[in-house]
Amino acid sequence: MAICIRKTTSELGPHFILTPERYNPKRHMDLSHLDNGVVLSEIVTLVNETITVKKSCDVFCYQINTSDALGGYLRIPPQKEKINSNKKLLRKGDVIISRLRPYLRQVAFVDADKGTDIIGASTEFYVLRARAPESIAYLVPFLLSEPAQTVFANSVEGSQHPRFKEEDLLRLIIPKSVFDDRRMISHRIEEAIKYYREYETALDTELKRMNERMRRS
């Protein structure tokens, strides 16, 4: 079915964009078959604490690129590097999602910090921070869910570097049943990430041992 839009001449202007994706009904979550929900903007705020190259050219930090966040897990580089581009500052407990090419599912929970060291993420990330003092790890499977991904897929604009806007993210609706179970879901996500970190550490240790053995043989 075609989507028709009627606008008077006075309504047109520099802020009016006439593109099909702007008026795609799939930019909104269809919860008609679900219970009431909570708008994401009521749960989180998007933070933009940024460290710039111009003001902090001699700063070293753990740099997170979009490829370091995948399917909920955040890969933290082993070494700090001198920043070579502007970075968004992350805190333990944040959830990050790349606004660029959402089909890559670059979502992650920031489960670890490096003490007083800085973790800086690509500015392509939206950084979600909880409004209340509780874990928002449950947002990882929510943002990776099919309904949320459908919204992102139908919200991207641009051909070479397709991105979705922050309003498309903040107006997502968390079903009440998910919100009511948020503590249990967050606990499961945090436990799963902890086990993955333990596996990652064990594998790295065994790899180092194997390299030593191979060098001695």
User: What backbone torsions phi and psi does residue 163 show, to the nearest 5 degrees?
Assistant: -130, 155
| Mean pLDDT estimate for the chain | 84
Among candidate residues 21, 18, 30, the one with its CA nearest the CA of residue 162: 21
Rounded CA separation 39/28 (Å): 12
- The pLDDT tens digits of the residues spanning 121-148 come to 899 999 999 999 999 999 999 999 999 9
CATH number at residue 141: 3.90.220.20
Report the chain's terminal Cα–Cα distance, integer Å: 70
Q: Is residue 21 domain-resident?
A: no
pLDDT-based confidence at residue 28 (cuts at 50, 70, 90): low
CB 169 within 8 A of CB 52: no
CB 96 within 8 A of CB 122: no
Per the listing, tokens 């967050």 go with: 186
Q: Is residue 1 domain-resident?
A: no
- The pLDDT tens digits of the residues spanning 74-104 come to 998 888 888 888 899 999 999 999 998 888 9
Q: Is residue 6 domain-resident?
A: no
Range of the domain at 138: 31-216
Structure token digits, residue 148:
């949320």
